[in-house]
């Protein structure tokens, strides 16, 4: 599945890769919350963050937005756990609905459920976007 980036996403990816030397696999800009989320190649998290967060701070100053970094994984289960790192995920089940859409159902610890969903659902919305773009998973359901 190919991803079509906007001009702004391409600009942010280029700047991020120049500043951090990390390889970006995907990027989502959330204008409503002034946030840019980068999906970096597995193993590039250290490069992306930098010593004591210096690299990420430099990037935040350049774009004047909050920056979030998520590590990619070729395993969809691990990938979803990375997307929702605040969650204590007990289990993940993958299924296909009647229309042929892939669904991921997460059993999340009740203590972390609110932070997993995020304020006004922003965390789960972002996770669904990345899951769709990377693994063609149509929905993530939290129980």
Superfamily for the 76-142 domain: K homology (KH) domain (3.30.300.20)
Model pLDDT, residue 101: 93
Catalogue the long-range contacts made by 86-91 (C-beta closer than 8 Å, 24 or more residues apart).
86/112, 86/115, 86/116, 86/123, 87/112, 87/113, 87/115, 87/116, 88/112
Percent of the chain with pLDDT over 90: 78
Q: Is residue 68 very low, low, confident or very high in pLDDT (cuts 50, 70, 90)?
A: very high
Q: Assess whether pLDDT exceeds 70 at residue 1.
A: no
Rounded to 5 degrees, what are φ and ψ at 20?
Answer: -100, -25
Identify the pLDDT of residue 87.
Answer: 81
Tell me the pLDDT of the chain averaged across its residues: 92
7-71 maps to CATH 3.30.300.20: yes
Query: Domain segments of the chain: what residues?
Result: 7-71, 76-142
- Asked if domains 7-71 and 76-142 share a fold, the reply is yes
Over the stretch 42-53, which tens digit does the pLDDT of each residue have?
Answer: 999 999 999 999
Q: pLDDT of 30-46, one tens digit each?
A: 998 899 999 999 999 99
Nearest partner of 140 among 80, 68, 79, 69, judged by Cα: 80
pLDDT value of position 35: 93
Q: Is the pLDDT of residue 23 over 90?
A: yes
Encode pLDDT of 97-139 as tens digits: 999 999 999 999 888 899 889 888 999 999 999 999 999 999 9
Q: Which run of H or of E encompasses 137?
A: strand 137-142
């Amino acid at each position: 599945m190919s991803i079509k980036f906007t001009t702004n996403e391409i600009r942010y990816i280029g700047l991020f890769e120049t500043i951090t030397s990390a390889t970006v696999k995907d990027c989502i800009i959330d204008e409503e919350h002034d946030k840019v989320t980068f999906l970096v190649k597995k193993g590039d998290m250290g490069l992306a963050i930098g010593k004591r967060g210096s690299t990420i701070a430099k990037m935040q100053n350049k774009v004047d937005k909050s920056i979030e970094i998520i590590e990619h994984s070729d395993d969809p289960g691990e990938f979803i756990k990375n997307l929702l790192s605040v969650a204590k995920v007990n289990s993940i089940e993958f299924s296909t609905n009647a229309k042929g859409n892939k669904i991921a159902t997460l059993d999340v610890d009740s203590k972390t459920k609110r932070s997993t969903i995020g304020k006004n659902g922003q965390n789960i919305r972002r996770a669904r976007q990345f899951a769709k773009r990377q693994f063609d998973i149509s929905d993530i359901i939290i129980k």
